[in-house]
């Protein structure tokens, strides 16, 4: 009888102490945070594959490196400020005084919008200078990778806009605490991705 119980036991449903840690058979995290974590892993794989493809493609003789637009330095500064403001909002919402959380969170989103506007201006200037997507593989990779990053940022801005509306409508900051935390993590991720892309595009 004890052997049958051992075979049919479901340890993942067992509540108790395992290795000195409390175990309840489930991940103790909000579903939104788990979903974001999975998405960040997938996004990391996607950007990694494009990076590998970039290095492989640049070895061919028809590769002509794109001159680094000076505007990218300014755009990078905008995204850094955006990420810092989101972190400020996250720090504020974790304290008892939520006085400046609206300013920090909403302004952080606007700086991200300014970043995208700066990217659009950079793309426009490149095309006016004759750097079209179809004229060279290096150009195509530039537009593809920076465009993919911008699309991810737009997705984050959609979530940011819903949370901002809730804040502006008078909702308590604690009601959007999780949204602020997730937006902050997402913006830090996109900042790291952009810094890697920026370094890659600037040095190759």
Domain at 31-203, CATH from 1.20.120.80, 3.40.50.300, 3.90.1170.50, 2.102.10.10 = 1.20.120.80
Domain ranges of the chain: 31-203
CA distances from 191 to 89, 156, 188, 197 (A): 17, 12, 5, 10
Least confident stretch, 4-18, 48-62, 105-119, 147-161:
4-18
Instruction: Give per-residue burial for 141-150: e unless 16+ CB within 10 Å, then b.
Output: bbbebbebbb
Reported as a single tens digit per residue, the pLDDT across 160-196 is 999 999 988 877 777 788 999 999 999 999 999 999 9
According to DSSP, residue 18 is labeled: E
The pLDDT assigned to 64 comes to 85
β-strands 21-23, 16-18 pairing: antiparallel
């Amino acid at each position: 009888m004890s052997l049958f119980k051992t075979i049919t036991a479901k340890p993942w449903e067992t509540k108790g102490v395992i290795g000195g840690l409390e175990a309840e058979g489930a991940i103790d995290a909000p579903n939104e945070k788990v979903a974001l974590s999975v998405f960040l892993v997938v996004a990391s794989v996607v950007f990694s594959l494009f990076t590998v493809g970039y290095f492989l493609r640049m070895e061919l003789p028809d590769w002509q490196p794109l001159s680094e637009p000076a505007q990218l330095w300014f755009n990078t500064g905008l995204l850094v400020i955006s990420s810092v403001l989101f972190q400020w909002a996250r720090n504020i919402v974790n304290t008892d005084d939520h006085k400046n959380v609206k300013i920090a969170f909403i302004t952080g989103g606007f700086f991200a919008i300014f970043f995208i506007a700066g990217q659009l201006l950079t793309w426009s200037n490149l095309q006016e200078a004759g750097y079209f997507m179809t004229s060279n593989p290096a150009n195509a990779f530039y537009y593809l990778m920076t465009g993919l990053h911008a699309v991810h940022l737009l997705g984050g801005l959609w979530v940011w806009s819903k949370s901002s509306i809730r804040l502006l409508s008078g909702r308590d900051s604690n009601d959007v605490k999780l949204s602020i935390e997730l937006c902050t993590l997402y913006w830090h991720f996109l900042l790291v991705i952009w810094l890697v892309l920026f370094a890659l595009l600037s040095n190759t």
